[in-house]
Structure 1
Amino acid sequence: MDDVVTCANCAARNRLRAAPGGQVPVCGRCGEALPWLVSATDETFRAEVDAGVPVLVDFWAQWCGPCRMVAPVLEALSRDRRGGIKVVKLDVDSNPAVSGRFQVRSIPTLMLFRGGEPVETWVGALPRRELDARLEPYLGGSASGG
């Protein structure tokens, strides 16, 4: 399953596919970095967390109210920090192998990966300001396109 995102620069809709070598996806029309927000499964997870930028994984479930509260925060983060972070959503109900492997016991759980390995874990629906503060040591600088 491919995810579709809209370019913040030219409004073109782009289909996100696995990028070779974990490269940041760019708009097919204007070449600007795209918001990198994709869904993963137990089968695709390893490839999704292997990227050239930090990867924030959202372990969530459809029935989880706090998960629905954090979803727009993560969408905005992927837009504002496009080119600097990848956001991966993993539904724990449909993908028990990965959530079990990382011992996810509460949702939402946000796990930050660098070089394909977890470096930080945060449990609960964090407000945007707090999430930005926690990510800052790993992302640095200001938003790249927002």
Structure 2
Amino acid sequence: MDFILAFIGSFAGAILFNIERKNLVWAGLCGGISWVVFKVLFIQTDRVVFSTFLAAFACGIYSEAMARKRKTPAFVFSIPGIYPLVPGITAYTTVRAIVEGRLVFAANKGIETIGTAGAIAFGIMLASTAFQFVYKVNEKYRKKPKVIS
């Protein structure tokens, strides 16, 4: 059920960003995959920021691979793919706690919100960099002339 809801959320977000029809399902699939990775890791580790980082990393790898396959920019898949990971309720909880005067709780939730947002950005960036590095090394290795002795 979580996969389906994450898929629908990412699919709808892709529609809002006016992504081509041929890429809508793939963008929704990216969101579903990233949410499943997050959920599985969160259940195993009980660490929100770590789980978000690895889910964003998976989203980034998927986006880069689909960008090559579908011949379109990677952000077409990565932006809708991170929608399920965005810490909206955590940010809301932080602001609400500030208004209610629960400052220690607000500080904890604020740090979690900032950490989660940073984990999303770093996960996507690391995946993109790693994918491009491996791709360039692979291309360089293929073009290297063979020496016959």
Normalised TM-score (structure 1): 0.28
Of Structure 1 and Structure 2, the greater strand share is in 1
Point out the structure with max Rg over C-alpha: 2
